[in-house]
A and B are shown apart, each in its own frame.
Chain A
């Protein structure tokens, strides 16, 4: 009896599935129908007659702006929006910053089929290609945002926003990596807390010297903790590989090249902290970042955004920030940024598009960048604001700002997958006792497959 009923359920479900399969794909609300045209509509804005502007003054245009919830950024953006609206009384910007980071992409994805969502959106630069590829972002109008202007006035890493000959997004601020060091722990280990490691060799030596264990071999203080899932996969790709004389990717970022001899040497340097020198273990104290905040780690590679976290969660931590250690006379750092793009929702309506462009210009101006440094502690994306002598002399921010001129931003096609291959490579060495070179070869092969899959359709 029971299974006869089950078979009936199965039959009904399969029939329904077949019927549905024959239907068109999930219909989207009207707003989304404009999707294919949106891309063409955007360049059309360039020729939109200026005369339309005065007429628009009578009606108030509402545009929606979304970013994920990060308190300092939300406050800074509130201030910018206030200033912008004072200058442009006919534009109202609705600021949605209620979404936590972990859900941000899900919510954006869910908003699209619903026909709602932002006109201007802030996204991690590593997600750009996926969003552009999906037709969600429209290129920034060339007359308002000439590529040459970006190349001349913005930090070189911002070139990661140029794709397919067009500029797609623009940031207010950027971040770089630097070396955080715990002064108290250095002093405790007999090191001079005012002279942090300047080279990779010094980092090794000092990390070993700083490490302390109890009688049972448990870590009390970790000298240096490698955690690829945090910032160390960036440190490896864009810093160590270059310093050991290699190149992480081909110039167009279509070909993985970190599995070269130089890359392998860089990789062995990285894993040696865990395997040979045993200066720390990422699985202890809830990860390298939390361990540094808890005062259990001497040296830590992290981004400028961490200054805010420390100020919040560990205000008493006695730490300094230095430029990343150099090697072979080569300095490098990884740069990344949250960047603002205009969506196809804005592009569907010329008036919204015009308002979105104005808003974007405002929040990417040097003045906005300067406000951002004060409020958020992130570096201005504009070179002019970034090379401010006062900023360079700042004991904490200075090291990051000096990195702006030699920072590289990786062009990711799928950031989480590309990060995962290096996490797995590290785990393969540490947990599966694989030869480091072999683990790196596997990582390169897997990442190349991700790149090939992406570029294959193009």
Chain B
């Protein structure tokens, strides 16, 4: 069979595309799906395979959710709190900064780099620097507080402040990404809508409320979905900012992913850890679908 030039080009394109697909299937999807299988087994890594226990791990997780002081229960609650605190802060701050940056004409690149740098910095490095900043007594923030005559704060050392302190770092780290995406969104809005509205006597608030915000909807949905997913998967910052990486003090910062890691790699309850992973996966899927369904609205002028 003779192929036309176009057909051959398409064929080659498929061949090249097949390589990353193969990589994803073998290295990412297959192990991901195996997690489903492991979650139905009592497997401790050292054995070739573990006995089938059906839904036992899911039943245990269900039980844990109702136990006071349970790490699993704390993990689910905290994960939800990270999302509830983190995502809106990131959106509001990101939009505010993007709006400001949209108005400046000088040093634009410098500002973009400054806001984007944390996003491309390793979470571990970020965690270390912030650990130092947060240090009681000797940390920079507490030194400043002392100099201003304000009381020192324990930040990550206190169960009341730890989660918020870590969320603040996550927001700071992800802010650059939100700003860049918002900026791109803002620049997509044609200037003539604003001009037309101004001629009709619209106030700046009305411009924002009725033009900017609706036309940014796709960007907001995109950032909400991605942000939610990233906060549901909180791990590296908590692992590196809580005492001994335990999600403490008093389980106040632990997350579902951290419990997956601790159950899997420190207690070797791989089945239980896999079951937690599956639940997290379904939770992420569900929340994403709901968000896409209810947040998306097509606005056209």
Contact = CB atoms under 8 A, between A and B. Distances in A.
Interface of A: 2-3, 6, 10, 13, 16-17, 20-21, 23-28, 32-33, 35, 105-106, 109-110, 112-113, 130-131, 133-136, 216, 218-219, 229, 281, 283-286, 414, 416-417, 420, 423-424, 427-428, 431-432, 442, 446
B137 A218 contact: yes
A428 B252 CA distance: 12
B46 A16 contact: no
B47 A135 contact: yes
3 pairs of A and B residues whose beta carbons are closest in the complex: A25-B49, A134-B46, A28-B48
Interface string B59-70: 000000000010
B146 A216 contact: yes
A433 to B, nearest CB: 11
Contacts of B158: 431
B266 A416 contact: yes
B137 A26 contact: no
Nearest to B155: A283
Contact of A284 (B137, B159, B292, B293): B137
Contacts of A133: 44
Interface string B21-45: 0000000000001101110110111
Contact of B69 (A24, A27, A442): A442
A109 B41 contact: no
Given A23-B37, A26-B34, A219-B137, A423 B146 contact: no
A427 B46 contact: no
A420 B246 contact: yes
Given A3-B293, A28-B49, A431 B267 contact: no
Nearest to B152: A218
A26 B32 CA distance: 12
B214 interface: no
5 contacts: A17-B33, A26-B49, A283-B136, A416-B266, A424-B248
A35 B146 CA distance: 61
A432 B289 CA distance: 39
Contacts of A112: 45-46
A176 B33 CA distance: 46
Contacts of B47: 35, 134-135
Nearest to A434: B250
Contacts of A3: 289, 292-293
Contacts of A109: 45-46, 265, 268
B162 to A, nearest CB: 10
Contact of B36 (A6, A20, A113, A281): A20
Contacts of B206: none
B185 interface: no
A3 to B, nearest CB: 6
B45 A20 contact: no
A424 B251 contact: yes
Contact of B285 (A10, A136, A285): A10
Contacts of B45: 109-110, 112-113, 134
Contacts of B262: 416
Interface in B150-165: 154, 157-159
A16 B157 contact: no
B296 interface: yes
Contacts of A229: 243-244
B244 to A, nearest CB: 5
Interface string B270-299: 000000000000000100110011001000
A38 to B, nearest CB: 11
Nearest to B132: A286
A432 B33 contact: no
Contacts of A32: 48
B118 interface: no
Contacts of B243: 229, 423
Contacts of A283: 136, 154, 157
Given A6-B288, A284-B138, 6 more contacts: A3-B293, A10-B285, A134-B268, A229-B243, A423-B246, A431-B158
B134 to A, nearest CB: 10
A129 to B, nearest CB: 11
Contacts of B265: 105-106, 109
Contact of A427 (B137, B138, B159): B159
A136 B250 contact: no
B249 interface: yes
Contacts of A414: 267
Contacts of B49: 24-28
Contacts of B296: 2
A275 to B, nearest CB: 15
A284 to B, nearest CB: 5
Contacts of A417: 267
* Most interface-central of B46, B244, B251 (chain A CB within 10 A): B46
A60 to B, nearest CB: 28
A427 B250 contact: yes
Contacts of B288: 6
B46 A131 contact: yes
A25 B69 contact: no
B157 A25 contact: no
Given A134-B46, A283-B154, A21 B250 contact: no
A25 B50 contact: yes
Interface string B187-211: 0000000000000000000000000
A21 B266 contact: no
B293 A21 contact: no
A136 B69 CA distance: 32
Nearest to B261: A106
B145 to A, nearest CB: 11
B46 A424 contact: no
A320 B126 CA distance: 38
B36 A17 contact: yes
Contact of A446 (B52, B69, B154, B267): B69
